Structure 1
């Protein structure tokens, strides 16, 4: 039987799940550095408890640990969702276009920030990561119906705040 304490099994679990766990926590935090720290710590805890966690339960274990670490940090500080500006500042666009784009991005950021954390996370996991509702439901530990409702409410709120969505 496979064992999480075997380096190959652990390595495979890390490769398969670390990016999604990172995105999940990043969408909650809005901070890459904190998300990396949480993901690292969650996998360290998995390694420390490898004898107690079966390979089938490892994914869910890591999500639970990562979410708990996130909640602990949230208790200590209020976090605002920010997106890393990954765009290169070299551009051939007109100043008017750049201003409109910046205003739209700010409006979108404000709209996303105004969403409750669970709706924002669901929306971003679905629209940015392409996660299916069932996958999000499993990550969040809720029913698919709950995810459908969150997505409906998120889309409605975003439509109300931003023309053209």
Structure 2
């Protein structure tokens, strides 16, 4: 049968003795091996917490090895995590397209139809319409640019809108 050790790690005095004996060595080991960027003192503390949580499973003579192994694994996990974070930060997240392929095809087809419909407009209609809707010019500004009256510009835009509406399904403009 297994003899239970005289000194159990779960006893507060024994655990405190282990802590006082090994905390500095563990901190130094982690600091020398991995540097300060991964918080070696935090990982050492986490290792002692894991030792306390597993105190019934670990014998006194295995405590030091357990602490160093757990602390080393914690540091390695932190390094892996930082690599994942770095890789994620280096990705260009703007390139992800969440539109369905069907939507992309429909959008391209609609754009082609829109271009063809614009070609059916007279030059005067197309210029007035695009100045108003694309460049957001006011009717009076367009009239001044083209050397015509405001009513002529309004008529050109209205007639262009009427042609586009007849040529394209679901065509509307704000």
TM-score after normalising by structure 2: 0.43
Larger Rg: 2
Q: With a CA cutoff of 8 Å and minimum separation of 6, indicate the structure with the bigger relative contact order.
A: 1
TM-score after normalising by structure 1: 0.45
